[in-house]
Structure 1
Amino acid sequence: MRILVLGGTRFVGRTIAEEALRQGSEVTLFHRGRTGGDVFPDVLRLVGDRDTGDYAALRQGRWDAVVDVSGFVPRHVGQAMDALGDRVGRYVFISSHAVYARTGVGPDSDEDTPRRPPVRDTEELSDDTYGPLKVACEDDVTARYGSRATIVRPGKVAGPHDPSDAFTYWVRRAARGGRVALPGRPDQPVQVLDSRDLARFVMRLLADDRPGVFHAVGPAEPVTLGGLVETCARAAGSEVEIVPVEVESLPPLFPLIRPNWPSQQRSPARARAAGLPATPLAVTAADVLAWDRARGEPPLGKGWSAQEEARVLAGS
C-alpha cells in the first residue's frame, strides 16, 4: 500500500509511519523539513509548509491513502485536498475529542455525541477554538471525499517520542517513588491510548478500506488517575503514596487533571469492533520510562518540578 503521511516526523505521525513501514507499505512523508531529519532516512520526503500554504509538492504522485495528522484549521485541510485532488484513495483525518459539546454529555459517550459548532473565521488555536476548528476540518474532509473519508478522534495519546509531557510527567514522577502530590481526585477517570495502538488501528482501517468516525481511546481496562500513577510505579519497580492536595493556582492543563469528567469517558466500542488493539497501560508506562531515560530525562514543560512539589506537600 502506498501511504502519504501529512506530518510524520514527530509523534503520532512518526508512529503511524513506523507501523506502515513495519507492515511493508510504501510511505511518503510531507513535512516542513525543519525537524526529524534523522528519522526514516530511506523514506521519500516531500517538503512544504502548511502555514504558508505551500502544498506544491503534493501536486504530483498517487497514493492509496493519505493520513493527515497536521490539519488543525480548515485552510490546512482544504489546501492539501486541493493539491491532492482525486489522486488518493482513502483520506484518514486525525481529529480530536475536543470536537464534542462540553455540556449535556454523559459518561461513555459515543461517536454520535453532538459536536461543537464549527469555526472558520479564525486560525488562532485556543481552548475555545481548537475543537470547533477541528469540526470544520472534519466536515470539509467528509464533504470532499464522502465514503472515502475516515475520521479518527483520539483521546490522550501516550508513548515514546510524546512531546506533550502529560503522561511522561506521571511516569517519571512515579518512578521516583515516595509521596506523590495529586492536585485532583484520585478517582478521576482517565483514558490514555498507546500511540502504537493508534498507529495499528489506522493501518487496520486502511487495510479494511473502512469509512466512518471512530474514537481511539485506551487503555484496555478503565483506570482512574490514582490507578494510573500506581500502575506507572509498578512498571518502574517503585512504591508511591498518593497525596491529594488542594492548591490555589494550578498551572493550566496540568498533566491529565481535568474537571470535566465526561470528557474522560468516551466509549471505545465502535473502534474496538473495527480492530483497535489495547496495549496494557503498564507496558506503555514501561516503554515511555525507558525512552525518557534514554534521552536523558530533559526538563518537562508540564507539571511540577521536584522543588515545587515538595513545597506543595509541605503545605498539605
Structure 2
Amino acid sequence: MHLLVLGGTSFVGRAIVEEALRCGAEVTLFGRGRTGTGLFPGVPRLIGDRDTGDCTALADGRWDSVVDVSGYVPRHVCQAMDALGDRCGRYLFISSHAVYERSGLQPGSNEDAPRRAPERTTELLDDDTYGPAKVACEDDALARYGSRATIVRPGKVAGPHDPSDTFTYWVRRAARGGRVALPADPAQPVQVIDSRDLARLVVRLLSDDRPGVFHAVGPAEPTTLGGLIETCARAAGTEVEIVPVTPERVEPMFPLVRPNWATQQRSPARARAAGLTATPLEVTAADVLAWDRERGEPPIRRGYTPQQEQRLLAGAYRP
C-alpha cells in the first residue's frame, strides 16, 4: 500500500505512520517539516503548509490511500483534495466527536447521531467552532470522494507522546498516590482510546478499502473516571483515595471531566466489527507513565498544581 499521511509526526499521526510502516506500507509524509524531524528516517517528506495554502508539493505522485490527520477547517481539506485530484484511492479523514449535537444525546449513540451545523465562515477554532468546522471537513471529503471516503471519529486519545496532558495528568497524579482531589462525580463514565488502537483501526480500514464512518472509542470494558484513576494507580504500583471536591472556580474542561455523561457512552460496535482493537487501560497507563518519566516529567498545563489540590483537600471548598 502506498500511503500519504497529511501530518504524521505528532501523536496520532505518528502512531498511524508507525503502524503503517510495521504493516509494510510505503509511506510519504506531508507537513511543514517543523516537528519530528528525527522521526522515520528514509520516509519521503513533502514540505508544505496548509495554513498558508501551500499544497504545491502534492501536485505530483499517486497513492493508494491518504490519511488526513491535520485538516481542521474546510479550506485545509479542499486545498489538499484539489491538489491531489484523482491521484489517490481512499481518503480517510480523522474527525472528532465534537461534530455531534450537544443536546438530546443518548447513551450508546452510534455514528448516525445528529451532527452540528457546518461552520464555514471562520477559521478561529474554539469550543463553539471546532466541531462545526470538522463537520464541514467531513462533508467536503464525502462530497468529493463519495464511497472512496472514510471518516474516523476518535474519542479522547491517550498514549505516549500525547501533547494534551489530559490523560497524562491522571497517570502522573495517580503515581503520587494518596488522596486525590476530583472536581466531579467518580461515577462519571469515561471513554479513552489508546493511540495505537486508533492507528491499527485506521490502517485496517485502509487495507480493507472500507468506506463509512466509525467511532474510535475505548477501553474494551466501560469504566468510570474513578475507575480510570484507580487503574492508573495500579499501573504505578500506588494506592489512591479519590476525594470529590468543589473547585475554587469553574473548571472548564478539567482533564476527562464531562458534564454530559452520554458523550462518554458512545457505541464502538461498528468500529469493533471493522477490526478496532482494545489495549487494556492499565497497559496504556503504564506506557504513558514510562514515557512521561523518560522525558523528565516536564510541567503540564492541565489539572491542579499540588498546592491547589492541597487547599481543596484541606476542606475549604469541599461540599
Task: Please name the residue that 1:274 is paired with.
Answer: 274
Identity %: 77
Distance, in Å, in 1 between the alignment partners of 2:248 and 2:293 is: 32
Total equivalences in the alignment: 316
Give the stretch that moved more between structures: 37-46 or 87-96.
37-46
| 2:262 maps to 1:265 | no
**Shift in Å at residue 42 of structure 1?**
1.5
Deviation digits for residues 18-67 of structure 1, max 9, x if unmatched? Answer: 00011111111111111111111211111100110000000000111000
**Shift in Å at residue 269 of structure 1?**
0.5
Give the stretch that moved more between structures: 58-67 or 35-44.
35-44
For residues 56-205 of structure 1, the aligned pairs below 5 Å read 56-205=56-205
Amino acid corresponding to residue 5 of structure 1 in structure 2: V
Distance, in Å, in 2 between the alignment partners of 1:131 and 1:160 is: 25
Match of 1:284, SS state, is helix
Distance, in Å, in 2 between the alignment partners of 1:299 and 1:254 is: 16
Distance, in Å, in 2 between the alignment partners of 1:269 and 1:221 is: 12
Match of 1:127, SS state, is coil
Distance, in Å, in 2 between the alignment partners of 1:77 and 1:310 is: 46
Amino acid corresponding to residue 239 of structure 1 in structure 2: E
**Shift in Å at residue 251 of structure 1?**
3.5
Distance, in Å, in 1 between the alignment partners of 2:110 and 2:304 is: 34
Task: Please name the residue that 1:310 is paired with.
Answer: 310
Match of 2:139, SS state, is helix
Q: TM-score, normalised by structure 2?
A: 0.98
| 2:277 maps to 1:238 | no
Task: Please name the residue that 1:53 is paired with.
Answer: 53
Distance, in Å, in 1 between the alignment partners of 2:252 and 2:267 is: 26
Moved over 2 A (4+): none
Distance, in Å, in 2 between the alignment partners of 1:28 and 1:160 is: 23
Task: Please name the residue that 2:284 is paired with.
Answer: 284
**Shift in Å at residue 252 of structure 1?**
2.3
**Shift in Å at residue 248 of structure 1?**
3.7
Distance, in Å, in 2 between the alignment partners of 1:307 and 1:248 is: 13
**Shift in Å at residue 310 of structure 1?**
1.1
Match of 1:253, SS state, is coil
Match of 1:227, SS state, is helix
Query: Gapped runs of 5+ residues in structure 2?
Result: none
Give the root-mean-square deviation of aligned CA atoms.
0.7
